[in-house]
Structure 1
Amino acid sequence: MPVSETLNPVQLHLLDMFRFCKSDLELLELKDVLAAYYAQKVQEEADRLWDDGTLDADAIERIGKEHWRTPYKAL
């Protein structure tokens, strides 16, 4: 993946927010808030897919049986 030489507005804002973290606990709390935000977005998208019929119980069952591990080469 190519490395960007500039930060986008979201990245700049996050850097600014992390500047206020004065302890490990505050850092963990901010990380938890961000994780909860993205978990909510995932749930909303899953609900949308369920409601429009793209996702159903059979699809979830198939996804649960998938093996998406990265194949490793023997050394």
Structure 2
Amino acid sequence: MEVLKQPLSNVQLELLKTFSHQLSESEILELRKILAQFFAQRAIQLANEAWDKKEWTDEDVDRMLETKMRKKSN
């Protein structure tokens, strides 16, 4: 018998439980902004950690910006 994977992530389930009531359009927009800020801050934090770990300099970043770094997909 095949086991079905859970179709929703843990955060999706938590949000469904938390917001089981109706929100106004303005509340939904405010929530979207808060979530966007959360994920933006997390991305910045991870980028800063990578920067520190790899000991990059401004010159390294300038060089990366001028270099085609994508790999061709097969």
- Give me the TM-score of the superposition, normalised by structure 1: 0.60
CA distance in 2, matches of 1:60, 1:8: 34
Provide the aligned length of Structure 1 versus Structure 2.
65
Provide the residue aligned with 1:32 in structure 2: 33
Deviation at 1:58, TM superposition (A): 3.9
CA distance in 2, matches of 1:35, 1:22: 18
Provide the residue aligned with 2:65 in structure 1: 63
CA distance in 2, matches of 1:5, 1:42: 26
Note the residue ranges of structure 2 that are not aligned, 5 or more in a row.
none
Once the two structures are overlaid, the 10-residue window that deviates more, 4-13 or 26-35, is 4-13
RMSD: 2.7
Which structure would you say has the larger RCO, counting Cα contacts within 8 Å and 6 or more residues apart?
1
Sequence identity, in percent?
30
SS of equivalent residue, structure 2 residue 54: coil
- Give me the TM-score of the superposition, normalised by structure 2: 0.61
SS of equivalent residue, structure 1 residue 22: coil
The answer to whether residue 10 in structure 2 is matched with residue 9 in structure 1 is yes
- Larger Cα-atom Rg: 2
Residues 1:21 and 1:54: Cα distance change in structure 2 (over 3 Å) = farther
